[in-house]
Structure 1
């Protein structure tokens, strides 16, 4: 009789333990389901951060909220610089126009007073020739000389033959003109001839020298000199 009671009590205890186990199991399952349901809405938003499903965040909609874009990148959203940012350096506008080197002043006229009357001479130096400025090479056989004036400019023309080489004739004219402030440069000349141009401000003298059949040099001169006619 006691043994039977012990068996029944054992069965009842086993049933009670099974019921308690089922109750605890249900309690454990419900919190897990509740937690899964609460966390499930966040999954779409997390997946939506990258439409392609790749791990490269920033290529989708989240790039608009990147720290390098929007007001935080350029300042406070009103166009101002962010605190601590170095302001841009802007050069001031140029207000002074460079003047460069001044233009050289005009050379003073070499001739003084009224210009001579027009004239020409054959085998001699014409009256009114500016011999104080321009002299012919020593030993010149003069062919002709002439002068003519226009306003404050005296035009001179001469030709002659000299028993010297071409370059020696050019040097004679250079020795006459350089002391008066002329500088010289080569000028175009026909084949076999030599030419030079002498310049002083607006005054010019051009000399061309060719060799004659007898070995002498024949020169031709054309120039213009300014005068202080006041």
Structure 2
């Protein structure tokens, strides 16, 4: 065997030995890593559970049991609203005087003025010139009529009665009228009064026609 062949053979043996040593070392390292992993798993499983209500980060999040953190633990503070005052009750209903009180008037009529027994609660516009007025009673109700003129426009007459009867709790609504006239009807309970206006050269002619029911008692 020549010298060169011996060198080649020795080199091959050394290389094979190095491969065997390297393989053995790798096997020892893999075995040690697996042992460490198993030991860490055992240690974690045997460690005591952390109490959710304990100090530290668990308190800031409210604990593992989901309870909200109290203001003393640094949690969100709830705003305390002032007590709500009860609303005042509705105002008492307004009581209006009856349009017809006392004994029923006797039936009568008058020209050029206001007839006796005409209810004082029914307003007559200032500066009116009364043509006729009358009251008629059937023992249950009283019919009243008044015909007058005033130096004012028809609309101002209606507006005046909207105010006057409004103070008595009577709201005006449009009523049928003919011959260029306008009319409003005012109703409250069993009382009803119709105001009709008609323009004239000197102002307005207006009439009041009402049915009144005497107050009980």
Superposition TM-score, scaled by structure 1 size: 0.50
Alpha-carbon contact 2:195-2:206 (below 8 Å) kept: yes
The verdict on how the C-alpha distance between 1:108 and 1:143 changes in structure 2, with shifts beyond 3 A counting, is closer
Alpha-carbon contact 2:158-2:195 (below 8 Å) kept: yes
SS of equivalent residue, structure 2 residue 180: coil
Paired position in structure 2 for 1:43: none
Which of the residues 179, 183, 206 maps onto 1:219?
206
Distance in 2 separating the partners of 1:115 and 1:155: 11
Q: Which runs of 5+ in 1 are unaligned?
A: 1-106
Paired position in structure 1 for 2:114: 125
Distance in 2 separating the partners of 1:227 and 1:161: 28
Which of the residues 168, 186, 189 maps onto 2:156?
168
Alpha-carbon contact 2:99-2:119 (below 8 Å) kept: no
Misfit runs of 4+, over 4 Å? none
SS of equivalent residue, structure 2 residue 167: helix
2:178 counterpart of 1:187 = no
For these two proteins, the number of residue pairs brought into alignment is 122
The verdict on how the C-alpha distance between 1:108 and 1:139 changes in structure 2, with shifts beyond 3 A counting, is closer
2:205 counterpart of 1:228 = no
Paired position in structure 2 for 1:147: 135
Residues 21-72 of structure 1, C-alpha deviations (whole Å, 9 max, x = no match): xxxxxxxxxxxxxxxxxxxxxxxxxxxxxxxxxxxxxxxxxxxxxxxxxxxx
